[in-house]
Structure 1
Amino acid sequence: MNNQIQFISVTPEQLQKEISNGVKIQLQEFLKHFKPVQPAEYLTRQQVAQMFDVDISTVHNWCKSGKLKPLGIGSRVYFLRTDIEACLIPLNQ
């Protein structure tokens, strides 16, 4: 099957404009539904302690009191950055 398209009375500029408009519409539709996935960032106890300028024992106490949710693999302990940021509460001053 040989499909042929003929453009009669269409200038190259008009064709280019129509193609550009079609691509723009498709891109806009794509961007409406596109949600980039950010990779999960894991922090060690040391990194969390440095982040808040506290001692590692303070991070341990926060875990025991339930303020932080530790994750582990073997003997390693990690924290999701999003979980840590979610634990922060606004202070009314």
Structure 2
Amino acid sequence: MESTIMLHNLSPTDLEELIRKVISEEFEKSRKNLLLFNPDELLTRSEACSLLKINMTTLWNWSKKGKIISYGIGNRVYYKRAELMESLIRIN
């Protein structure tokens, strides 16, 4: 019964503090999840391959065919996480 909270003999101040604590913990979890999945995040080629579970040749072929959009600066190539996820199509 570790997750059970007993409200007996709990002052309004203590209840308020308990609620603040729980909301703060949930907010922190949500913030961390947003940081883990930032749709505007730029991924390198190797990160894009890891995300899609493909090899570099497949990534290059898909970029060349226009299946996925790549961005570059200098000799660097990047992919937007959100666009990679949007390029996935439902099969059935």
TM-score normalised over the length of structure 2: 0.56
Unaligned runs of 5+ in 2: 1-37
What do residues 8-39 of structure 1 show as CA deviations (whole Å, max 9, x unaligned)? xxxxxxxxxxxxxxxxxxxxxxxxxxxxxx67
1:75 partner amino acid:
N
Which one scores higher on RCO, CA 8 angstroms, separation ≥ 6?
2
Larger radius of gyration: 1
C-alpha RMSD of matched pairs (Å): 1.4
Q: Which runs of 4+ in 1 moved over 3 A?
A: none
| 1:42 aligned onto 2:37 | no
1:36-58 residue CA offsets vs partner (Å, 9 max, x unmatched): xx672000111111112211011
Partner of 1:63: 63
Matched, 1:51 2:51: yes
Q: Larger % of helix: which?
A: 2
Percent identity reads: 38
**Structure 1-normalised TM-score?**
0.55
- Judged with a 3 Å threshold, the aligned counterparts in structure 2 of structure 1 residues 88 and 74 are, in CA distance, closer, same or farther, namely same
